[in-house]
Amino acid sequence: MKNLIIFDMDGTLLDCETLDVLAQEFNVEDQVKEITAQAMNGDIDFEEALQRRLAFLKDFPKKKLLKIIDNLPLMPGAKELIKKLKQVGYKTAIITGGYGIVARKIAKKLDIDTYLANDLEIKNKKLTGDFRLNVNGNKDILLNKLKKKFQANFTVAIGDGANDIPMLNAADLGIAFCAKPVVNKKIKKKITQKNLLNVLKLIELNKGLNN
């Protein structure tokens, strides 16, 4: 039996929202956090939220961005969970509405097999405020592509925001992790404690640790 686990990144693998952290550097934290909250609760379109937040970060230096990424806090239990699942043969992936430049670093740090993310546009070593949209409301489609790629028989998906709901519903086991109210209303399996190791118990109960 081949198993695959897919994580959202911000608020799931990371104990923060990347854009909110970057916004602190530009002193626009309150404005960006408000848009982030609206997007995660499903109150505004994800792409619109991305555009509005990135506009605040135009001309942000790439060098400074990379330094901040190196210091983003991992969610408690992230390393231990992934290590355990890889030991029993799980393939691991990130599907995030966040950015490839961040997801690449986090995937490397956690030994995650692959990632799908949006791409920030960088020119002259600075953010332009533009991006290429690869991941929006299509996380369910992307999950199925990865399922086919890895020939997985059992899929687990973990996320916290409204844009994760299609992915959580598409998985054999969808887990709302410290999620927004709109997610908790629609997803049966929930974890409310901020430690990803709690995922193991749910996977075991759903027989997802069988090889």
DSSP string, 162-185: GGGHHHHHHSSEEEEES--HHHHH
State residue 209's pLDDT score.
Answer: 62
Structurally, the chain folds into a number of domains equal to: 1
User: Could you tell me the pLDDT band of residue 211, with boundaries at 50, 70 and 90?
Assistant: very low
Does residue 112 form part of some domain? yes
Would you say residue 188 lies in a domain?
A: yes
Active site residue 70: no
**Phi, psi dihedral angles at 184 (to 5 degrees):** -60, -30
pLDDT tens digits, residue range 157-208?
A: 999 999 999 999 999 999 999 999 999 999 999 999 999 999 999 998 776 5
Segment 127-160, tens digit of pLDDT: 998 999 899 879 999 999 999 999 999 999 999 9
Residue 130 belongs to a domain? yes
The helix, strand and coil proportions of the chain, stated in percent and rounded to the nearest 5, come to: 45, 25, 30
Active-site position among 10, 20, 140, 160: 10
Residue 74 covered by a domain: yes
Q: Note whether residue 78 is domain-resident.
A: yes
Q: How far apart are CA 210 and CA 118, in angstroms?
A: 33
Domain range for residue 111?
3-205
The one catalytic residue among 8, 20, 160, 164: 8
Q: Which two tokens stand for residue 96?
A: 């995030």
Asked if residue 210 is part of any domain, the answer here is: no
> What is the CATH number for 74?
3.40.50.1000
pLDDT value at residue 195: 98
Structural domain includes residue 211: no
The tens digit of pLDDT for each residue in 26-64 reads 888 888 889 888 887 888 887 888 888 888 889 999 999
The pLDDT > 70 percentage for the chain reads 98
Backbone Cα Rg of the chain: 16
The yes-or-no answer on residue 113 being catalytic is no
DSSP label of 192: -
Residue 113, token pair as written in the block: 């097999």
One-character DSSP codes across 128-165: EEEEE---SS-HHHHHHHHHHHTT-SEEEEEE-SGGGH
Residue 115 lies in a domain: yes
Q: Identify the pLDDT of residue 207.
A: 65
DSSP 15-49: SS-HHHHHHHHTT-HHHHHHHHHHHHTTSS-HHHH
What's the confidence (pLDDT) of residue 210? 52
